[in-house]
């Protein structure tokens, strides 16, 4: 059983194949958190909770004279503001009288077979092969005005526990939610390290590791998107944890907007973890009978190190988050026009590029920004999604037909959420943008943001997109979003609901993506937000791949893709071979190295094929054939990080391994070239110790490659790379 309930002791124990999570209702009706960690005996772990009379830690009124009972010191499942717990809290509610003090008490629970879903929000789903159950625990505030329904999804074989919260107003008056986190975990001991992934545009998801000290350490975004600056995924590990050993907890937020994650080590060395919506741009009105659903958080635990934790998320997000045809179908190798020609192109130029691409074996040609409205510079045209036939010199169907005649598929770029003031749509509907009355708006990339909280706005843009998609044969769409959101105000909502706009915007985005994917089930949809500004699990529910970063420099991409791999599968990572010198850094990198790095993702090209030399063409043709050969291994195999980029290694290595250990692909990039250098050795992972493997014609026992290691070929040029195929001997 995945969910065990001891009715006598009011204990709830959730079990996956390798982890266990436990809660208990105490004598006062408070839901306490008692355990999260390695699977074991479903004992009553509340014996670990200690009670003492702590100074300046108050006692609930219903505890009477029991001064050793204080919510300020107890591990709780869903702590609330105003209960006498002065630590970070998960829920804050404004009552009709303007007060905020709240207390929650247990009311009931219920079980349901299968995994719950949330209205209008992405969630992990269970397949027919999965063992999944749902537990819903209902708490009520002591004023009897609202319920808090705590949702727990247990997916045994995936080793995941998911969390969400529904707040239901069953009173007669209006309430305002000012904070509603999706998950809280109180760990009774300190001494943990937090791993987060920070950055900026073109330098996303840099891994950082730091001890959680006394006080609050937080990451988050109030930019209207999950952001380049911080990612809504983080790890909590034991101080000694490595890639292959030690306790690791993962917390992933299935949401693409504002979020807040924090670690709070209290006065008694207990560690509280919170993850949910950022309260800065959030105040949600609940009238009588209204309910609010918080986005889903996905938790995982292992005592086998960070690689094992990453593989839990990789497998689950490929199988139980991504949807549609391209969840399993091989994705075409593409050429994107952006870094090749930017906005300066016509149909003839694009067709010439496509001809060269087809000769090399590229399967999909993507026309990026610049094909619509008045769009010769990036200061105009957004919002006018009609084909500029004068610029192209042909119609879209004519262009698509020409691409398909070459044996290629055709794709197109959109930025549906943004608008230029120099556009017909803005001149007609200036009230359709997020803009504060009486204040000049903040521009980003000389564009404003459409109010996607409004159904009429979404419907208009969706109709334009569908008209374009229906006018020609189009197999791929890149959905971009190139600025942070500010001036959050909707002309369609009254003042008392303006605090809902940021969240309603994301719900509107999801609604539009759901309608688009339902209407075009065979369309390959790639997410993008200036590269990795919205690289999150929420978007993966709609777009099976996301452009990882606008930085296409292969050496910079090592760090970006390294950090991304902690929480997201390789199949989600949009990655291309670009031209040199690189447009972002000016760095010159070998063509083979650019391919090695791009193969750790969806793989494609972003260069002007007309400028490729005859000497380079065979290399590109071979790269494409090689990627196709190893496609299943790369996209669906186990991924191992073999070196830590934070330690400034001489080389950086990673490995793809089939789950049965029969085949592997080792990838290495030399980062430093030194005269008379020592040889470098790298230990492989994931092989079968008792099997024999062939590497470049030589035989090695699996135990030797994993314990002794493999000597890396000597690099003779800067940033040289190696792709080394390892296969079990006598494998059919």
Measure the CA dihedral 345/346/349/350, to 10°. 90
* Strands laid side by side in the 19-25 sheet: 3-6, 11-15, 19-25, 31-38
| β-strands 545-547, 524-527 pairing | parallel
Structure tokens given for 492 = 């369609």
Question: What are the φ and ψ backbone dihedral angles of 78, each rounded to 5 degrees?
Answer: -150, 80
* Spatial contact of 543 and 327, defined as CB atoms under 8 Å apart: no
* Spatial contact of 136 and 110, defined as CB atoms under 8 Å apart: yes
Give the 3-state secondary structure of residue 499: helix
Structure tokens given for 207 = 């891994």
Distance of CA 345 to the CA centre of its chain: 33
Closest CA to 135 of 159, 167, 162: 162
Cβ neighbors of 509 (< 8 A, separation 6 or more) are: 256, 417, 452
Q: Which residues pair with 536 in a beta bridge?
A: none
Q: b or e along 589-621 (b: 16 or more beta carbons within 10 Å of the residue's beta carbon)?
A: bbbbbbbbbbbbbbbbbbbbbeebeeeeeebbe
Q: Which residues pair with 273 in a beta bridge?
A: 185, 263
Task: Give CA–CA dist 387/372, Å, rounded.
Answer: 5
Separation in Å, CA 170 to CA 106, 146, 181, 198: 16, 5, 20, 41
Report helix, strand and coil shares of the chain as percent, to nearest 5: 25, 30, 45
Cβ neighbors of 223 (< 8 A, separation 6 or more) are: 229, 258, 484, 485
Cβ neighbors of 405 (< 8 A, separation 6 or more) are: none
Angle 253-281-250 (CA atoms, 0-180°, nearest 5)? 15
Task: Give CA–CA dist 260/396, Å, rounded.
Answer: 43
The DSSP annotation for 339-371 comes to HHHTT---HHHHHHHHHHHHHHT--EEEE-S-S
Separation in Å, CA 318 to CA 298, 331, 385, 450, 526: 14, 14, 32, 31, 15
* Spatial contact of 534 and 555, defined as CB atoms under 8 Å apart: no
| β-strands 577-578, 19-25 pairing | unpaired
Question: What are the φ and ψ backbone dihedral angles of 618, each rounded to 5 degrees?
Answer: -60, -35
Question: What are the φ and ψ backbone dihedral angles of 248, each rounded to 5 degrees?
Answer: -140, 130
* Spatial contact of 523 and 515, defined as CB atoms under 8 Å apart: no
Name the DSSP letter for residue 116: -
The residues annotated with a catalytic role in the active site are: 536, 616
* Spatial contact of 337 and 195, defined as CB atoms under 8 Å apart: no
């Amino acid at each position: 059983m995945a969910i065990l309930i001891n009715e006598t002791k009011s204990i709830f124990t959730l079990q996956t194949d390798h982890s266990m999570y436990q809660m208990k209702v105490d004598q006062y009706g408070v839901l306490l958190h008692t355990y999260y960690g390695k699977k074991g005996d479903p004992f009553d772990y509340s014996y670990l909770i200690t009670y003492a009379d702590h100074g300046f830690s108050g006692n609930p009124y219903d505890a009477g004279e029991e001064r050793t009972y204080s919510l300020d010191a107890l591990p709780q499942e869903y702590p609330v503001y105003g209960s006498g717990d002065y630590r970070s809290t998960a829920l804050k509610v404004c009552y009709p009288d303007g007060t905020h003090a709240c207390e929650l008490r247990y009311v009931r629970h219920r079980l349901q077979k299968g995994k719950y879903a949330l209205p209008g929000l992405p969630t992990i789903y269970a397949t027919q092969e999965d063992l999944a159950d749902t537990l819903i625990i209902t708490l009520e505030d002591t004023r009897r005005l609202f319920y808090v329904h705590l949702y727990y999804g247990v997916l045994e074989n995936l080793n995941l526990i998911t969390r969400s919260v529904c707040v239901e107003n069953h009173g007669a008056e209006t309430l305002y939610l000012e904070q509603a986190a999706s998950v809280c975990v109180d760990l009774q001991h300190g001494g943990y390290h937090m791993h987060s992934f920070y950055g900026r545009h073109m330098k996303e998801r840099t891994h950082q590791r730091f001890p959680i000290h006394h006080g609050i350490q937080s990451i988050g975004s109030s930019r209207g998107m999950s952001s380049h600056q911080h990612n809504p995924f983080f790890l909590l590990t034991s101080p000694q944890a490595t890639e292959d050993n030690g306790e690791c907890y993962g917390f992933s937020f299935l949401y693409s907007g504002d979020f807040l994650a924090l670690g709070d080590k209290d006065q008694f060395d207990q560690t509280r973890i919170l993850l949910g919506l950022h309260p800065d741009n959030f105040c949600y009105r609940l009238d009588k009978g209204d309910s609010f659903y918080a986005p889903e958080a996905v938790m995982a635990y292992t005592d086998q190190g960070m690689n094992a934790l990453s593989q839990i998320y990789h497998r689950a997000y490929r199988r139980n988050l991504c949807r549609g045809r391209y969840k399993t179908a091989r994705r075409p190798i593409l050429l994107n026009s952006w870094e090749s020609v930017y906005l300066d192109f016509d149909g003839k130029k694009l067709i010439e590029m496509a001809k060269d691409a087809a000769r090399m074996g590229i399967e999909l040609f993507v026309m990026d920004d610049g094909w619509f409205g008045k769009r010769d510079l990036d200061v105009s045209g957004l919002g006018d999604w009609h084909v500029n036939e004068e610029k192209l010199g042909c119609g879209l169907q004519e262009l698509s037909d020409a691409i398909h005649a070459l044996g290629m598929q055709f794709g197109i770029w959109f930025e549906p959420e943004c608008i230029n003031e120099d556009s017909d749509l803005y001149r007609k509907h200036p009230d359709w943008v997020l803009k504060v009355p009486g204040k000049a708006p903040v521009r980003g990339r000389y564009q404003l943001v459409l109010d996607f909280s409004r159904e009429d706005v979404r419907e208009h843009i969706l109709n334009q997109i569908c008209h374009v998609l229906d006018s020609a044969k189009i197999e791929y769409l890149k959905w971009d979003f190139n600025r942070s959101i500010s001036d959050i105000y909707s002309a369609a909502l009254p003042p008392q609901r303006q605090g809902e706009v940021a969240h309603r915007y994301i719900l509107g985005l999801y609604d539009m993506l759901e309608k688009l994917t339902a209407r075009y089930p065979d369309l390959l949809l790639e997410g993008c937000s200036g590269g990795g500004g919205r690289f999150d699990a929420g978007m993966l529910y709609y777009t099976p791949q996301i452009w990882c970063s606008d930085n296409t420099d292969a050496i910079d991409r090592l760090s970006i893709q390294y950090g991304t791999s902690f929480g997201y599968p390789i199949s989600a990572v949009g990655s291309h071979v670009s031209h040199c010198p690189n447009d972002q850094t000016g760095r010159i990198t070998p063509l083979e190295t650019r391919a090695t790095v791009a193969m750790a993702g969806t793989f494609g090209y972003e260069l002007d094929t007309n400028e490729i030399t005859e000497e380079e063409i065979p290399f590109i043709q071979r790269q494409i054939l090689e990627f196709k050969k190893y496609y299943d291994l790369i996209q669906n195999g186990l991924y191992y990080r073999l070196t830590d980029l934070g330690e400034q290694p001489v080389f950086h290595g990673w490995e793809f391994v089939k789950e049965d250990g029969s085949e592997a692909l080792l990838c290495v990039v030399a980062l430093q070239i030194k005269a008379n250098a020592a040889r470098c050795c790298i230990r492989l992972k994931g092989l079968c110790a008792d099997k024999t493997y062939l590497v470049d014609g030589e035989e090695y026992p699996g135990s030797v490659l994993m314990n002794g290691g493999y000597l890396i070929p000597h690099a003779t040029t800067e940033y040289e790379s190696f792709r080394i195929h390892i296969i079990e001997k006598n494998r059919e």
